[in-house]
Structure 1
């Protein structure tokens, strides 16, 4: 042990010295103003945005600020946290205002956008009281996620108008940030959130690992993830834990629905022909997701693990949001082990927003931070190369800015990814919210049951099909989506999830998991018997 000690000390020094030499942010005095931000963003983004905002304030002669970042997890965990915290805060506020406790019915109604404000019943009174209040959870800003999540929080009443358009009308005029791009909303018409950067969803892959599996061609379609040669080498994230993962799966379904509409001759809106085509496309998309799940390595709780494992070679390919792939490819030789591609016509470019929370303790400071993030100085933090003037100093974040001025030729030499322009890429895909947005939560629920909770049986069925040459009856059974068809999801699963009844949800989950496991077992039996 003594003989090994010098080596251990040297190893520790080798590992720790680079971290010790990294530039550190100077601590702000205790008297500094405090801004509290709730975010799924990683440490790299938090670091660069903190440093950039301090510089932004200093250049304007404003006093220092201390940014208090709260990071309870991904967008799903944040949604649960906000719901719980606002309920607790409103219960106290309601009791103080009315002298009575909040009933369970009113607790379910006060943040429910479907609850009418008119009327004299307790639920309507609770809704009116909440929307007229300044109920606080002692957090100023929600920063990061997807437009779907922000739209849900805005409709609930947790986000309020930050009046960005009043202060900066130039951000939303001609040649500025459009309201929608490729069907994706980039800002809320009522001012409750605005996109700060944009992201696409696609495929990360390790060229070396693919070649070892006998795959020489780079992937370029979602269907490439279902290649049987990839069995056990496809890294995925659990869509019930990661909003970005669920959005990526939604892209698969959207593209399949679009293809089905085109194959049907683009039937008129509201016709039976349209409904039939959309249902067929939804089932096609979910069928492809099942096939991808069948060759998966895992469905991780952490979306970032997908990219890390693909880069290391323990997985060969995976689904991820674009900046995960680009950020992890930073560094010497990393690009040879990790690449990212948007699938052909298979992904929209969605906004990553920011919003002011109801009851923000420091609303004016929060608005200043929002202004910074939307300014060229803040946009440079997302997009510029590390070390260039005005850019990040420690991490190249590799995010695509939302401000169109950032794509002007004069800025091109400073951009980490100068060829990534959302206002050009979005033309290849149109996101149609009416098709899948109402089913967004149901989509994650079904994929979890279909691929995660039944993982062992699904893998066995997929392996049996591949080993026995895809016998016709077995393959037809595997592709049968009747248990989780579009009609079932729309008319049974989505309403059950929206009911707010946990017992109903658990009963549905147990019934479907049991049925799906038996379904996959039958596929395995058919395949092994050559049928």
Structure 2
């Protein structure tokens, strides 16, 4: 279950050991661990060691936690759950497997309670979003400039006839994220208008990629000018090729945000240290790690983390480091002519009609 080397990712020795179960990558564990160790030493004049536990992806992690609590209902020897999206946190809270974590207003003030109806932190203080994920448009600025193409800034722009042969999409039958993006369009614009946009996007595509990574890859290669993708795939290409060549745009018409969260697990023997870790990842210092590039004084040391921080203020304070063209926290949206329309994806509807939608797209 444990990669014992992970426990040594911090240089600190002695002091308390905090056990964190997470599906996050080694680069995230290393960068967070190093920064937290230094932050903790400077603030509390104590050393602390992080014992990272990795059992696989999000589903494996939640399955393991539940299995352990079945055998040991009062505590499982783990202090923190870090990552796995947001949905499992609702269930774990309802199952009373999380500890309450009350944070100061100074920490919470820059973190929106919700966005467009999506909770970004638990109103009762049992879990908190750390980063956010969304979908959008990867634009190749050089290709657009050379070919005198408009830069699409909304989903409906991708269906404009002047972008014929310049749009990249992938097959939703092979990609959950691609299907979700198409459901966003269908639900946001309605069935008829949504299909008009989707068919226009398909008509503008030279080919439909097999995998979700195909659309951003073809865009980065210059085979197309714009491709739709999940934010991380877009950020990866922007980081590789530079902001003067590539940019990831959150559609202006509407988008959905999903937080990636953190919580203290029931029965922890290190409640104070666990709360301090959560304070760190939500602090200015912790949040900058997700946004700032390698080589900056407050950024990561070895690896760019390529995630969107949940602190709203960072996007206006450091626009030069923002991985997105516009803030993910829209103050208002216009959908179907209605300003300030709140859009929340109906996951049940998306699940029920997936075969129908995928069949129509593949036809």
Question: How high is the TM-score relative to the length of structure 1?
Answer: 0.53
Distance in 2 separating the partners of 1:161 and 1:34: 15
Contact residue 250 and residue 326 of structure 2 kept, 8 A: no
User: Map of 1:101-180 to 2, 5 A cutoff?
Assistant: 133-134=73-74, 136=76, 139-144=78-83, 146-148=85-87, 150-158=89-97, 160-165=98-103, 168-172=104-108, 175-180=109-114
Alignment match, 1:491: none
1:198-243 per-position Cα deviation (integer Å, ceiling 9, x unaligned): 444211133566789x78222222134457844994246768755x
Cα distance change, pair 304–27 in 1 and its aligned pair in 2 (3 A): farther
SS at match of 1:379: helix
Structure 1 residue runs of 5 or longer lacking an equivalent are 1-23, 94-132, 257-280, 460-519, 521-531
User: Map of 1:380-391 to 2, 5 A cutoff?
Assistant: 380-391=288-299
Q: How many residues get paired?
A: 346
Distance in 1 separating the partners of 2:228 and 2:195: 15
SS at match of 2:239: coil
Match of 2:115 among 181, 190, 196: 181
Distance in 1 separating the partners of 2:55 and 2:224: 27
Distance in 1 separating the partners of 2:175 and 2:352: 6
Structure 2 residue runs of 5 or longer lacking an equivalent are 1-7, 335-339
Report whether the alignment pairs 1:89 with 2:68: yes
Pick the structure with greater CA Rg: 1
For CA contacts below 8 A with separation 6 or more, give which structure has more relative contact order.
Answer: 2
Bigger helix share: 1
Distance in 2 separating the partners of 1:329 and 1:396: 11
Cα distance change, pair 386–282 in 1 and its aligned pair in 2 (3 A): same
The Cα shift of 1:66 comes to 3.0
Alignment match, 2:209: 298
Alignment match, 1:127: none
RMSD of equivalent CA atoms: 4.2
Alignment match, 1:68: 52
Alignment match, 1:274: none
Distance in 2 separating the partners of 1:178 and 1:443: 27
SS at match of 1:221: coil
The Cα shift of 1:372 comes to 0.7
Question: How high is the TM-score relative to the length of structure 2?
Answer: 0.74
User: Map of 1:237-316 to 2, 5 A cutoff?
Assistant: 241-242=176-177, 248-256=181-189, 281-282=190-191, 284-285=193-194, 288-289=197-198, 297-300=208-211, 306-313=215-222
SS at match of 2:156: helix
